[in-house]
Amino acid sequence: MTNKKQKFVADILTYAVLILGALVMIIPFIWMISVSFRIPAQQYARILIPNPVTIQNYINLFKDLPDNAFLFLTANSFKLSILMVIGQVLTCSMAAFVFAVCKFRGRNLLFALLIGTMMIPSQVSLIPNFIIFKYIGLIGSQWPLILPAFWGGAFGTFLLRQYFLTIPRDLVDAARMDGASFFGIFWKIYLPLAKPAVAALAIFVFKDAWNDLLHPLVYLPTDMHQTTLTVGLAFFQQQLVMGGKFTVLMAGAFLSILPLLLVFFFAQKQFIEGVALTGMKR
Protein backbone atom coordinates (compact mmCIF):
# COMPACT_ATOMS: atom_id res chain seq x y z
CA MET A 1 0.00 0.00 0.00
CA THR A 2 2.87 2.31 0.80
CA ASN A 3 4.42 1.71 -2.59
CA LYS A 4 1.13 2.55 -4.30
CA LYS A 5 0.88 5.81 -2.35
CA GLN A 6 4.44 6.73 -3.20
CA LYS A 7 3.82 5.99 -6.87
CA PHE A 8 0.62 8.06 -6.79
CA VAL A 9 2.42 11.03 -5.20
CA ALA A 10 5.28 10.71 -7.69
CA ASP A 11 2.81 10.70 -10.59
CA ILE A 12 1.04 13.78 -9.21
CA LEU A 13 4.33 15.66 -8.87
CA THR A 14 5.43 14.62 -12.34
CA TYR A 15 2.20 15.78 -13.95
CA ALA A 16 2.32 19.02 -11.95
CA VAL A 17 5.82 19.78 -13.24
CA LEU A 18 4.79 18.92 -16.81
CA ILE A 19 1.69 21.13 -16.61
CA LEU A 20 3.75 23.99 -15.19
CA GLY A 21 6.27 23.62 -17.99
CA ALA A 22 3.48 23.54 -20.58
CA LEU A 23 2.00 26.76 -19.16
CA VAL A 24 5.39 28.49 -19.23
CA MET A 25 5.76 27.54 -22.90
CA ILE A 26 2.21 28.34 -24.02
CA ILE A 27 1.57 31.64 -22.21
CA PRO A 28 3.79 33.73 -24.57
CA PHE A 29 2.09 32.06 -27.52
CA ILE A 30 -1.37 32.88 -26.18
CA TRP A 31 -0.28 36.45 -25.47
CA MET A 32 0.95 36.81 -29.07
CA ILE A 33 -2.42 35.66 -30.42
CA SER A 34 -4.23 38.00 -28.03
CA VAL A 35 -2.20 41.02 -29.13
CA SER A 36 -2.74 40.22 -32.80
CA PHE A 37 -6.51 40.64 -32.33
CA ARG A 38 -6.34 43.89 -30.31
CA ILE A 39 -6.78 47.46 -31.42
CA PRO A 40 -3.53 49.51 -31.37
CA ALA A 41 -4.63 51.43 -28.26
CA GLN A 42 -4.64 48.18 -26.24
CA GLN A 43 -1.42 46.65 -27.60
CA TYR A 44 0.37 47.00 -24.23
CA ALA A 45 -2.68 46.46 -22.02
CA ARG A 46 -2.54 43.71 -19.39
CA ILE A 47 -5.51 41.80 -20.71
CA LEU A 48 -5.78 38.33 -22.18
CA ILE A 49 -9.08 38.54 -24.05
CA PRO A 50 -9.19 41.50 -26.47
CA ASN A 51 -12.12 43.88 -26.16
CA PRO A 52 -13.05 44.61 -28.88
CA VAL A 53 -11.76 41.77 -31.08
CA THR A 54 -10.53 42.96 -34.48
CA ILE A 55 -8.97 41.38 -37.55
CA GLN A 56 -7.79 44.73 -38.90
CA ASN A 57 -4.21 43.89 -37.93
CA TYR A 58 -4.18 40.99 -40.38
CA ILE A 59 -5.60 43.25 -43.09
CA ASN A 60 -3.02 45.93 -42.33
CA LEU A 61 -0.28 43.31 -42.54
CA PHE A 62 -0.87 43.11 -46.28
CA LYS A 63 -1.48 46.85 -46.66
CA ASP A 64 1.47 48.18 -44.65
CA LEU A 65 4.10 45.99 -46.32
CA PRO A 66 4.81 47.38 -49.82
CA ASP A 67 4.16 45.53 -53.10
CA ASN A 68 2.39 42.57 -51.46
CA ALA A 69 5.66 41.71 -49.73
CA PHE A 70 4.02 39.39 -47.21
CA LEU A 71 2.65 37.17 -49.99
CA PHE A 72 6.05 36.94 -51.70
CA LEU A 73 7.80 36.25 -48.40
CA THR A 74 5.36 33.45 -47.55
CA ALA A 75 5.59 31.93 -51.03
CA ASN A 76 9.40 31.94 -50.88
CA SER A 77 9.39 30.27 -47.47
CA PHE A 78 7.01 27.56 -48.68
CA LYS A 79 9.03 26.99 -51.84
CA LEU A 80 12.35 26.67 -50.06
CA SER A 81 10.97 24.55 -47.21
CA ILE A 82 9.25 22.08 -49.54
CA LEU A 83 12.35 21.73 -51.75
CA MET A 84 14.51 21.15 -48.68
CA VAL A 85 12.11 18.49 -47.42
CA ILE A 86 12.20 16.70 -50.78
CA GLY A 87 15.99 16.85 -50.93
CA GLN A 88 16.54 15.62 -47.39
CA VAL A 89 13.98 12.82 -47.61
CA LEU A 90 15.39 11.48 -50.88
CA THR A 91 19.10 11.64 -50.07
CA CYS A 92 18.86 10.67 -46.40
CA SER A 93 16.57 7.72 -47.10
CA MET A 94 18.92 6.36 -49.76
CA ALA A 95 21.95 6.75 -47.50
CA ALA A 96 20.07 5.19 -44.58
CA PHE A 97 19.10 2.20 -46.74
CA VAL A 98 22.74 1.63 -47.70
CA PHE A 99 23.93 1.77 -44.09
CA ALA A 100 21.08 -0.45 -42.84
CA VAL A 101 20.87 -3.09 -45.57
CA CYS A 102 23.95 -3.14 -47.78
CA LYS A 103 27.03 -4.82 -46.33
CA PHE A 104 30.44 -3.49 -47.31
CA ARG A 105 33.83 -3.07 -45.69
CA GLY A 106 34.13 0.00 -43.47
CA ARG A 107 30.38 0.54 -43.22
CA ASN A 108 30.33 1.06 -39.46
CA LEU A 109 33.37 3.35 -39.54
CA LEU A 110 31.87 5.46 -42.32
CA PHE A 111 28.57 5.71 -40.45
CA ALA A 112 30.39 6.71 -37.26
CA LEU A 113 32.21 9.47 -39.15
CA LEU A 114 28.89 10.66 -40.56
CA ILE A 115 27.33 10.78 -37.10
CA GLY A 116 30.41 12.62 -35.85
CA THR A 117 29.60 15.51 -38.18
CA MET A 118 26.53 16.23 -36.06
CA MET A 119 28.88 17.67 -33.43
CA ILE A 120 29.97 20.39 -35.87
CA PRO A 121 27.71 23.49 -35.61
CA SER A 122 26.27 24.67 -38.90
CA GLN A 123 27.73 28.13 -38.26
CA VAL A 124 31.24 26.66 -38.53
CA SER A 125 30.71 25.61 -42.14
CA LEU A 126 28.91 28.82 -43.09
CA ILE A 127 32.01 30.74 -44.22
CA PRO A 128 33.55 27.88 -46.30
CA ASN A 129 30.19 27.27 -47.96
CA PHE A 130 29.77 30.98 -48.62
CA ILE A 131 33.19 31.09 -50.33
CA ILE A 132 32.31 28.07 -52.48
CA PHE A 133 28.94 29.47 -53.56
CA LYS A 134 30.49 32.87 -54.23
CA TYR A 135 33.17 31.25 -56.39
CA ILE A 136 30.56 29.54 -58.56
CA GLY A 137 28.40 32.68 -58.68
CA LEU A 138 25.31 31.56 -56.74
CA ILE A 139 25.29 34.23 -54.03
CA GLY A 140 22.14 36.33 -54.25
CA SER A 141 20.02 33.39 -55.43
CA GLN A 142 18.09 30.67 -53.63
CA TRP A 143 20.40 27.87 -54.79
CA PRO A 144 22.75 28.06 -51.76
CA LEU A 145 19.73 27.18 -49.62
CA ILE A 146 18.38 24.45 -51.89
CA LEU A 147 21.48 22.53 -52.98
CA PRO A 148 22.78 21.54 -49.48
CA ALA A 149 19.46 19.80 -48.81
CA PHE A 150 20.21 17.40 -51.68
CA TRP A 151 23.61 16.53 -50.20
CA GLY A 152 22.04 14.51 -47.40
CA GLY A 153 22.39 14.98 -43.67
CA ALA A 154 23.67 13.08 -40.66
CA PHE A 155 20.53 13.45 -38.54
CA GLY A 156 18.11 12.35 -41.26
CA THR A 157 20.32 9.41 -42.21
CA PHE A 158 20.57 8.28 -38.60
CA LEU A 159 16.82 8.66 -38.03
CA LEU A 160 15.82 6.62 -41.08
CA ARG A 161 18.58 4.04 -40.61
CA GLN A 162 17.32 3.24 -37.14
CA TYR A 163 13.84 2.70 -38.54
CA PHE A 164 15.10 0.59 -41.46
CA LEU A 165 16.84 -1.70 -38.95
CA THR A 166 13.42 -2.61 -37.51
CA ILE A 167 12.24 -3.94 -40.90
CA PRO A 168 12.81 -7.73 -41.17
CA ARG A 169 15.80 -8.69 -43.27
CA ASP A 170 13.75 -11.57 -44.71
CA LEU A 171 11.97 -9.08 -46.97
CA VAL A 172 15.28 -8.21 -48.62
CA ASP A 173 16.23 -11.88 -49.09
CA ALA A 174 12.83 -12.72 -50.59
CA ALA A 175 12.94 -9.75 -52.94
CA ARG A 176 16.50 -10.60 -54.05
CA MET A 177 15.40 -14.17 -54.83
CA ASP A 178 12.64 -12.73 -57.02
CA GLY A 179 15.24 -10.73 -58.95
CA ALA A 180 14.65 -7.30 -57.43
CA SER A 181 17.48 -4.80 -57.46
CA PHE A 182 18.60 -2.93 -54.36
CA PHE A 183 17.01 0.25 -55.66
CA GLY A 184 13.76 -1.62 -56.28
CA ILE A 185 13.83 -2.99 -52.73
CA PHE A 186 14.46 0.48 -51.38
CA TRP A 187 11.79 2.18 -53.47
CA LYS A 188 9.04 -0.44 -53.33
CA ILE A 189 9.54 -2.04 -49.91
CA TYR A 190 11.59 -0.01 -47.46
CA LEU A 191 10.45 3.50 -48.31
CA PRO A 192 6.69 2.71 -48.18
CA LEU A 193 7.15 0.86 -44.88
CA ALA A 194 9.07 3.81 -43.41
CA LYS A 195 6.27 6.37 -43.80
CA PRO A 196 6.19 7.24 -40.06
CA ALA A 197 9.94 7.90 -39.97
CA VAL A 198 9.80 9.82 -43.25
CA ALA A 199 6.97 11.94 -41.87
CA ALA A 200 9.00 12.66 -38.73
CA LEU A 201 12.03 13.67 -40.79
CA ALA A 202 9.89 15.83 -43.08
CA ILE A 203 8.46 17.70 -40.09
CA PHE A 204 11.91 18.27 -38.60
CA VAL A 205 13.31 19.55 -41.91
CA PHE A 206 10.28 21.73 -42.65
CA LYS A 207 10.47 23.29 -39.18
CA ASP A 208 14.18 24.05 -39.46
CA ALA A 209 13.88 25.40 -43.00
CA TRP A 210 10.84 27.55 -42.18
CA ASN A 211 12.40 29.05 -39.05
CA ASP A 212 15.87 29.57 -40.51
CA LEU A 213 16.96 33.19 -40.31
CA LEU A 214 20.76 33.05 -40.58
CA HIS A 215 21.24 31.37 -43.96
CA PRO A 216 18.64 33.40 -45.92
CA LEU A 217 20.06 36.53 -44.32
CA VAL A 218 23.55 35.60 -45.55
CA TYR A 219 22.83 34.23 -49.01
CA LEU A 220 19.74 36.12 -50.18
CA PRO A 221 19.41 39.83 -50.97
CA THR A 222 17.08 42.07 -48.96
CA ASP A 223 14.67 42.11 -51.89
CA MET A 224 11.30 41.15 -50.45
CA HIS A 225 10.49 39.24 -53.63
CA GLN A 226 13.36 36.78 -53.09
CA THR A 227 13.99 36.43 -49.36
CA THR A 228 12.03 34.44 -46.77
CA LEU A 229 9.33 35.27 -44.24
CA THR A 230 11.65 35.19 -41.23
CA VAL A 231 14.01 37.71 -42.81
CA GLY A 232 11.12 39.89 -43.96
CA LEU A 233 9.54 40.06 -40.50
CA ALA A 234 12.92 40.85 -38.95
CA PHE A 235 13.45 43.55 -41.56
CA PHE A 236 10.08 45.18 -40.93
CA GLN A 237 10.17 44.70 -37.15
CA GLN A 238 11.66 48.10 -36.33
CA GLN A 239 9.45 49.84 -38.87
CA LEU A 240 6.25 48.36 -37.42
CA VAL A 241 7.20 48.79 -33.76
CA MET A 242 8.41 52.37 -34.20
CA GLY A 243 5.22 53.13 -36.12
CA GLY A 244 3.09 51.98 -33.21
CA LYS A 245 1.98 48.86 -35.07
CA PHE A 246 3.10 46.19 -32.63
CA THR A 247 -0.27 44.47 -33.10
CA VAL A 248 0.45 44.12 -36.82
CA LEU A 249 3.84 42.58 -36.05
CA MET A 250 2.19 40.02 -33.75
CA ALA A 251 -0.30 39.19 -36.51
CA GLY A 252 2.60 38.52 -38.86
CA ALA A 253 4.37 36.42 -36.22
CA PHE A 254 1.24 34.31 -35.69
CA LEU A 255 0.76 33.75 -39.42
CA SER A 256 4.43 32.81 -39.73
CA ILE A 257 4.12 29.92 -37.26
CA LEU A 258 0.65 28.82 -38.36
CA PRO A 259 1.97 26.48 -41.11
CA LEU A 260 4.16 24.68 -38.55
CA LEU A 261 1.16 24.14 -36.28
CA LEU A 262 -0.95 22.80 -39.15
CA VAL A 263 1.79 20.46 -40.38
CA PHE A 264 2.31 18.99 -36.92
CA PHE A 265 -1.44 18.77 -36.23
CA PHE A 266 -2.17 16.74 -39.37
CA ALA A 267 0.97 14.56 -39.16
CA GLN A 268 1.38 14.18 -35.40
CA LYS A 269 0.40 10.49 -35.40
CA GLN A 270 3.07 9.59 -37.96
CA PHE A 271 5.54 11.94 -36.27
CA ILE A 272 5.17 10.37 -32.82
CA GLU A 273 5.21 6.84 -34.23
CA GLY A 274 8.27 7.57 -36.34
CA VAL A 275 10.25 9.09 -33.47
CA ALA A 276 9.25 6.28 -31.10
CA LEU A 277 10.14 3.44 -33.48
CA THR A 278 13.47 4.89 -34.58
CA GLY A 279 14.78 4.19 -31.09
CA MET A 280 14.27 0.46 -31.62
CA LYS A 281 16.91 -1.72 -33.19
CA ARG A 282 16.46 -5.17 -34.60
The per-residue pLDDT string of the chain (282 residues; one tens digit each, 9 = 90 and over) reads 567 777 888 888 999 999 999 888 888 889 999 988 988 888 888 888 888 888 898 988 888 777 778 888 999 999 999 999 999 999 999 999 999 998 888 889 999 999 998 888 888 888 899 999 999 999 988 999 999 999 888 999 999 998 898 888 888 888 888 888 888 989 988 998 888 889 889 989 999 999 999 999 999 887 778 889 998 888 887 777 666 678 888 888 898 898 888 888 877 777 676 666 555 544
> Is residue 267 packed enough to be buried (19+ CB in 10 Å), middle (13-18) or exposed (0-12)?
middle
| Confidence (pLDDT) at 111 | 93
Tell me how many degrees the CA angle 270-272-277 measures, rounded to the nearest 5. Answer: 90
| Confidence (pLDDT) at 208 | 92
| Confidence (pLDDT) at 261 | 85
Up-side HSE of residue 273: CA atoms within 13 Å toward CB?
11
Other C-beta atoms closer than 10 Å to the C-beta of 265 total: 8
Within the chain, where are the H helices? Answer: 2-36, 56-64, 69-101, 107-116, 126-135, 143-146, 154-164, 170-177, 182-185, 191-193, 195-211, 214-219, 229-242, 246-277
| Confidence (pLDDT) at 234 | 84
Alpha carbon of residue 54 to chain centroid:
31
Q: Just give the CATH number of 58-277.
A: 1.10.3720.10
The values of phi and psi at residue 27, to 5°, are -60, -45
Give residues with Cβ within 8 angstroms of 111, minimum separation 6.
Answer: 99, 161
What does the alpha-carbon distance between residue 256 and residue 275 come to, in Å, rounded to a whole number? Answer: 25
Domain boundaries, the chain: 58-277
Region label for 280, one of left (φ > 0), alpha (ψ between -120 and 50) or beta (otherwise): beta
